[in-house]
Amino acid sequence: MSNREKFGILLWKNWRLKIHRPVRTMCEILLPVLAVFLLVIARQFLPSKTVFSVAYNEFQPDLELISTYHIAYAPETSPIVKEIMESVKNKLNTHIQGYHSEEETITMLQLANNPHVAVIFPESYKNMTKLPKKVQFTLRFAASATPITSWKTDRLYPVIWKFCPRDREIETTPMPGYDQSGFLALQNAISEEIIEIHSNAKLVPQIYLRRFPYPDYRSDILLSCG
């Protein structure tokens, strides 16, 4: 039996199945037509429109917000780390507490009731007295510190992509809110102190931030962008 004959038999079999199941066959034909018809009707009531580009003003990290936090850091045995964090404490006018290791600091974060944030330097800094040229540190916020349940730092973009600016009306940072949570303020304070140590400068130029502008786009609810 040739392939053409096999294909013909397959078509004949499917045709017989469709004939013997008329209700199912009609649904398979009419449902796609109905779906297209509903989309046409929805388009009449939900037209798309052009939204003009948006530009944002510059801003500085909110230092007052981070002043309400309790900042934990590790390792506390490092003289250079302690120097950095003491300067950060004075800049932010907040409370700090040193811990021996990252594990001890994270345990404190998990049990803390008040807003806490941890600054973790590598274990290799434990007995370091001179700051290396390339400085590494990690910021960890307690779940109780912000309304954000998950920062999703393993992703570059949201799971559901929208062809419009995220949180258009927010001038600083959209979700997950790096400015509103105090993340930028703490990062900036630590970075300024590191710059001062390396440059022997007492005053570091102020840092201003600005959201990227967004060009003209089509606002279309049917395409998940209102």
- 124-161 residue pLDDT tens: 888 888 888 899 999 987 655 455 556 777 777 777 77
Contacts of 122 (CB under 8 A, 6+ apart): 136
Alpha-carbon span 127 to 222, nearest angstrom? 59
Angle 116-118-122 (CA atoms, 0-180°, nearest 5)?
Answer: 175
Q: What is the pLDDT of residue 58?
A: 92
pTM of the predicted model as reported, rounded to 2 decimal places:
0.70
Higher pLDDT, 161 or 87: 87
Mean pLDDT for 78-83 is 90
* AA letter at 54: V
Higher pLDDT, 81 or 69: 81
* AA letter at 84: I
- % of the chain exceeding 70 in pLDDT: 92
Give residue 181's region: left, alpha or beta (phi > 0; psi -120 to 50).
Answer: alpha
Q: What is the pLDDT of residue 34?
A: 92
What is the CATH number for 195? 3.40.190.10
Q: What is the mean pLDDT of the chain?
A: 82
On the question of pLDDT at 220 being above 70, the answer is: yes
Task: Tell me, yes or no, whether 9 and 77 share the same domain.
Answer: no
Alpha-carbon span 193 to 207, nearest angstrom? 13
Does 151 fall in a domain? Answer: no
Q: Which of 204, 224, 221, 218 is nearest to 50 (CA)?
A: 218
Q: Residue 117 phi/psi, 5° resolution?
A: -145, 145
pLDDT in tens, 184-202: 889 999 998 999 888 887 7
**How many structural domains does the chain have?**
3
Q: Which of 221, 225, 224 is nearest to 46 (CA)?
A: 221
Task: Tell me, yes or no, whether 10 and 41 share the same domain.
Answer: yes
Does 17 fall in a domain? Answer: yes
Please check whether residue 204 is in contact with residue 192, taking contact to mean a CB–CB distance below 8 angstroms: yes
Where in the sequence is the domain holding 34, given as residue range(s)?
3-45
Task: Tell me, yes or no, whether 190 and 168 share the same domain.
Answer: no
Cis peptide before 176, with omega less than 30 degrees from 0? yes
Q: What is the pLDDT of residue 149?
A: 56
Task: Tell me, yes or no, whether 189 and 77 share the same domain.
Answer: yes
Mean pLDDT for 105-124 is 81
Q: What is the pLDDT of residue 145?
A: 47
Does 222 fall in a domain? Answer: yes
- % of the chain exceeding 90 in pLDDT: 11
Task: Tell me, yes or no, whether 102 and 193 share the same domain.
Answer: yes
Q: What is the pLDDT of residue 4?
A: 81
Task: Tell me, yes or no, whether 128 and 170 share the same domain.
Answer: no
Q: What is the pLDDT of residue 147?
A: 54
Between 3-20 and 22-45, two packed helices, what is the crossing angle to 10 degrees? Answer: 80
- Our CA dihedral for 73, 76, 80, 85, rounded to 10 degrees, sits at 40
pLDDT in tens, 5-49: 778 878 888 888 778 888 888 888 889 999 999 888 888 887 778
Q: What is the pLDDT of residue 142?
A: 64
